[in-house]
Amino acid sequence: MHRVTSFIGIRLIKQRAGPTAVRAASSTPIFHARLGRDLSTARPIRSFATSVAAATMVGADAGSGSKAKPKSFFDLKAKNKSHQVVSMEEHANKVILVVNVASKCGFTEQYKELEQLYKDYKDRGFVVIGFPCNQFGKQEPGTNEEIESFCKLNYGVTFPIMDKIDVNGSNEDPIYAFLKSQKAGILGLTRIKWNFEKFLIDKDGTVYQRYSSTTNPSEIAGDIEKLLSST
């Protein structure tokens, strides 16, 4: 009798509860099934994230291997006035003065002394390389052709004038990334402050000294002599 009553009670509960209870009852295993799939999916997601992180680290290592930091100025490349890529290795074993130049600057007159240094020492293995830059007061707005013409007509420049570049910021040229990493400026700051800062490079491709815009090129002659005379 007790079993019959229980059975009848269960039937009555199902009837009174109606379809909602049936749906709820039937949905329970589905919910757990979904939860099971979610959990099983979560593990691969964590695994995938770990794989991505690992791959990123491997990629970074591979990148650092293929793009190793240059040890020497002669490991670098730059574009010349004709936008052609040239290797600084062509100046290997020379003493080099690198200058960020501009045509409409208060220091533009330094072209005269730069050219004189080049003439005085080029036969002994010295070269001046000018890199036009328009980042300071927009004082180098011209094209490469206009810059070259200006330099020749006004100052008789014969040393190499390269392609216009950025010397600071996200688009800084690798040449200047290297130079600044080798020798900081005043107060240990690496950023180029203005036009006509100068870097003197030794025969082994390392930066010997960095000079501010206010240093006249003629004042560097003693250091150039010292490096040219060294073995």
Alpha helices per DSSP H over the chain: 2-66, 110-121, 144-155, 174-182, 221-229
Catalytic positions: 105
206 with 230: CB under 8 angstroms? no
Q: What is the DSSP letter of 75?
A: G
* In a shared domain, residues 128 and 42: no
* In a shared domain, residues 111 and 218: yes
Burial track 66-84 (b if 16+ CB lie within 10 A, e otherwise): eeeebebbbebebbebeee
Instruction: Give the pTM.
Output: 0.71
Residue pLDDT tens, the chain, 231 long = 444 444 444 444 444 445 444 444 444 444 444 444 544 444 444 444 444 444 444 344 433 345 678 889 999 999 999 999 999 999 999 999 999 999 999 999 999 999 999 999 999 999 999 999 999 999 999 999 999 999 999 999 999 999 999 999 999 999 999 999 999 987 788 999 999 999 999 999 999 999 999 999 999 999 999 999 987
* In a shared domain, residues 217 and 163: yes
Q: Give the domain-ending residue among 10, 43, 68.
A: 68
Which phi and psi (to 5°) does residue 23 adopt? -65, -40
Q: Give the domain-ending residue among 14, 35, 68.
A: 68
What is the residue range of 57's domain?
A: 1-68
Q: Give the domain-ending residue among 68, 87, 114.
A: 68
Q: Within a 10 A sphere around the Cβ of 215, how many other Cβ atoms?
A: 16
* In a shared domain, residues 61 and 91: no
User: How many structural domains comprise the chain?
Assistant: 2
* In a shared domain, residues 64 and 137: no
* In a shared domain, residues 63 and 107: no
Q: Within a 10 A sphere around the Cβ of 11, how many other Cβ atoms?
A: 10
163 with 79: CB under 8 angstroms? yes
* In a shared domain, residues 60 and 117: no
* In a shared domain, residues 50 and 136: no
* In a shared domain, residues 85 and 8: no
* In a shared domain, residues 127 and 203: yes
Please give the pLDDT value at position 67. 66
* In a shared domain, residues 126 and 215: yes
* In a shared domain, residues 38 and 150: no
Q: Within a 10 A sphere around the Cβ of 191, how many other Cβ atoms?
A: 13
Tell me, what CATH number does 83's domain have? 3.40.30.10
